[in-house]
Structure 1
Amino acid sequence: MLNDQKQLNLLGLATRARLLVSGEEIVLAEVKKKRATLVIIATDVSDNTKKKIIDKCHYYKVPYKEQFTTAYISHAIGKKRSICAFIDGGFANSYQKLDMS
């Protein structure tokens, strides 16, 4: 539970550092450019959206995680979003390490 909050804080921090992009189209563009280092998909997105994002992540070999609801992600980054992606390896690694601890 504590790590969940730390991960949400990291989303906010990365947003302020301009190292997190959000929104379906922007995230897909970053995945295609191979700049996305980790994609976060809200657990409550539509099946079509989820499939589209996951397929692109598989094709371009970008790790992704289905975690948090749209409300949690939106609150953490300050705008209504259900898809976001780190475009910085350091933030992505820190985020994933919190999953393991």
Structure 2
Amino acid sequence: MPNRTFDRNRCLQQLGLARRASALLVGTDAVLAGLAAGSALQVWLAVDAGTNVTKKIRDKCAFYHKPLVQSLSRKELGEALGRSQVVVVAVTNPGFAASLQNALGESDGGVLFDKTESV
């Protein structure tokens, strides 16, 4: 299998499509509720998110065994979703989650999916 690389533009496009298809939960409260309900399949957290939000989202993703992706900034996430800034989103559609996972690949030798453990 060839070594895949992170395709930032494809990820941004897929997130935008998922938003238009109502396949995303946007914001901390919505994402936490989606994790608890089991509807969140993949969580995207901005690399420049605050310390408290980062810890809360990491802990919940670890508890519910959901993948956490930290590879885009607040501004990049926001622009992909038609907003100024977005800190956290969760993908709720399995097709979009699979497509985004394929677009992630590897970057700088490290897998962008964070297999979190309890912090």
- Report the TM-score, using the length of structure 2 for normalisation: 0.81
Shift of 1:78: 1.0
Structure with greater Cα Rg: 2
Shift of 1:100: 2.0
| Structure 2 residues not aligned, in runs of 5+ | 107-119
**2:51 equivalent to 1:51:** no
Tell me, what secondary structure is at the counterpart of 2:44? Answer: strand
Structure-1 separation of matches of 2:44 and 2:71: 7
* Aligned equivalent of 2:87, options 78, 82, 88: 82
| Structure 1 residues not aligned, in runs of 5+ | none
Question: Residues 21-67 of structure 1: CA distance to partner in whole angstroms, max 9, x if unpaired?
Answer: 11000000000001101000000001110000010010011111111
Which stretch of structure 1 is more off in the superposition, 60-69 or 1-10? 1-10
One-letter code aligned to 2:12:
L
- Report the TM-score, using the length of structure 1 for normalisation: 0.94
Q: Which residue of 1 aligns with 2:104?
A: 99
What RMSD in Å do the two structures reach over aligned CA positions? 1.5
Q: Which residue of 1 aligns with 2:38?
A: 34
**2:74 equivalent to 1:70:** yes
Identity, % of aligned positions: 33
Q: Which residue of 2 aligns with 1:24?
A: 28
Runs of 4+ in structure 1 off by over 4 angstroms are none
Tell me, what secondary structure is at the counterpart of 2:7? Answer: helix
